[in-house]
Amino acid sequence: MGVGLLNAPSRAFAQEHEGNNGRINRGDAAILRFLQVLETIEADIWRQYAELGGAGANVPGTVGNSPVDLFFQGAPIPTALAPLYVVGLQQLDGDMPQYINDNTDDELSHESFLRNYLEAKGEPVPDLRRFFDLTPSQVPGVPNTGRLTNLTQLTVDTTWWTRYRSDSKNPDLGDSFDPAIPTLAVGQHTAIPRTDKDLSADPTQPGGVSVHTQAIANTAGFHFAWIEQGGSSLYPQLAQRVSNVEVLRVLLSIGPSEVAHFQTWQDKAGNAIQLTDTDTGVPGSTGATVTFPDLNGFTDPKVADEFQTNLIMPEPTFFLNKKFGPVSIIRPTETKNAATAALQSFIDGGLFIGHTSKNGKSDGFVELLRELAAEADEARRDVD
């Protein structure tokens, strides 16, 4: 990893906060560094959702030297800038805007805490500032600052839906799963309004929101859960490779908050309004078609159980060995290539579209992420 990509913490700050088990080993540092970068990515994702679909009360900015902090300089993040989008989200649940604010606040805290912890241990933190150069939503009022992630060309994997409802399959045992919304996995879909052209009313539709605006809100609802189910698995996966007890405590303390997020969002996604929409006729249109079906409409009992919207708690399934019988678990939790697989899902999802120029030249962001993931996957538990 290039030295120029790292922020060196001050020696005095590191010494002052070193305490609690002292320095950490190379593997633990690599795991924390990868998680800190992923939390920076998540913080960027969620602040965009909060800006457009939050509850209206500003999300407090954090004070520090992270990329997110530098762009907001500790100032509150404006929210609820797209009222019709907010209404569309509220068709999934009336509390959606407040939950968005809360999730944003949580991810900002994860990013900031992990950065501060690494610096206190004398470990460098990747400097991502030069990669915050993607164009934000052009809805009026959105701060015109560069973004790290692209939420307008997403390919959303919804196989997590049936993976958690299956009572006989586990991805750790090599099983595959059907997507809840197959059309979200085809083409590129926007989960935020790109301009005010994506926002339109229609008094004949639920909530008075047009089919197109509601489709964007529905897409966001499923994307919310996709983001958080990744963290639900990644923290227990990487915790199995940690050596330092305090670092283990950090992972075991942050990970369950990701599970809480996922549990909330998958419950709300099940309320998505049934519709079909093709993304055409507005700036940035991709031509992708999405259909949100009635997930409770299957008649085959086995299939119905795997799509039923109110089955939001992990169904017991096989774990480690089928001879032990089914058990309710987070899935997957296999550690091999866990960081690399998590990163690849972000890449495949389209979050980093824009970090490669039209002539195919990369700005180096994805390459840096791959290096960090590889280093995290190389970590091995080392105990006396």
Secondary structure (DSSP) of 72-109: HTTPPBP----HHHHHHHHTT-TTHHHHHHHHHHHHHH
Residue 61's pLDDT is 56
The number of domains in the chain is 1
Q: Above 80 in pLDDT, residue 246?
A: yes
Of the candidates 107, 43, 94, the residue with the CA atom closest to the CA atom of residue 71: 43
**All residues at 6 or more sequence positions from 19 whose CB lies less than 8 Å from its CB, including other chains:** none
Give residues with Cβ within 8 angstroms of 241, minimum separation 6.
Answer: 27, 31, 335, 379, 380, 381
Q: What pLDDT, on a 0 to 100 scale, did the predictor assign at position 65?
A: 44
pLDDT > 90 fraction of the chain, expressed in percent and rounded: 83
pLDDT band for 357, please (50, 70, 90 cuts): low
Per-residue model confidence (pLDDT) at position 361? 82
Question: Coil, strand or helix: which one is 130?
Answer: helix
Q: What was the pLDDT predicted at 11? A: 42
Tell me whether residue 129 is in a domain: yes
Distance from C-alpha of 100 to C-alpha of 122, rounded to nearest angstrom: 33
Q: What is the pLDDT of residue 309?
A: 95
Which position has the higher pLDDT, 89 or 13? 89
Residue 67: predicted pLDDT: 47
Instruction: Give the pLDDT score at 158.
Output: 98
Whether the pLDDT of residue 75 is over 90: the answer is no
**Mean pLDDT to the nearest integer, 94-120:** 95
**Bigger pLDDT: 64 vs 323:** 323
What's the confidence (pLDDT) of residue 73? 47
> What is the DSSP pairing of strand 6-7 with strand 125-126?
antiparallel
pLDDT of residue 356: 79
**Is the pLDDT assigned to residue 109 strictly greater than 90?**
yes
Task: With H, G, I as helix, E, B as strand and everything else as coil, classify residue 313.
Answer: coil
**Considering the domain boundaries, does residue 383 fall inside one?**
no
- Residue 381: other Cβ atoms inside 10 A: 13
pLDDT band at residue 23 using 50, 70 and 90 as cut-offs = confident
Residue 368 lies in a domain: yes
Distance CA 138, CA 194 (A): 6
Residue 232 is assigned to a structural domain of this protein = yes
Identify the domain containing residue 287 by its residue range. Answer: 3-377
Q: What is the pLDDT of residue 77?
A: 83
Residue 154 belongs to a domain: yes
* Tokens linked to 166: 């299956």
Of residues 62 and 290, more confidence is placed in 290
Q: Kindly report which listed range (39-48, 54-63, 120-129, 258-267) carries the lowest average pLDDT score.
A: 54-63
Q: What is the pLDDT of residues 304-344, one digit of tens each?
A: 989 999 999 999 999 999 999 999 999 999 999 999 999 99
pLDDT category at 72 given cuts 50, 70, 90 is very low
Q: Which whole number is the average pLDDT over 33-52?
A: 97
Tens digits of residue pLDDT in 130-156: 999 999 999 999 999 999 999 999 999
Of 64, 57, 53, 115, which Cα lies nearest the Cα of 89? Answer: 53
Q: What is the mean pLDDT of the chain?
A: 90
Least confident of 36-45, 63-72, 245-254: 63-72
**Residue 66 above 70 pLDDT?**
no
Q: In sequence order, which residues have a C-beta less than 8 Å from that of residue 308 and are 6 or more positions away? A: 165, 295, 296
Per-residue pLDDT band for 26 (boundaries 50, 70, 90) equals very high
Report whether pLDDT(84) > 90. yes
| Domain annotation covers residue 171 | yes
Query: How far is the C-alpha of 147 from the C-alpha of 349, rounded, in Å?
Result: 16
Q: In this structure, is residue 271 part of a structural domain? A: yes
Domain membership flag for residue 384: no
Q: How confident is the model at residue 59 (pLDDT cuts 50, 70, 90)?
A: low
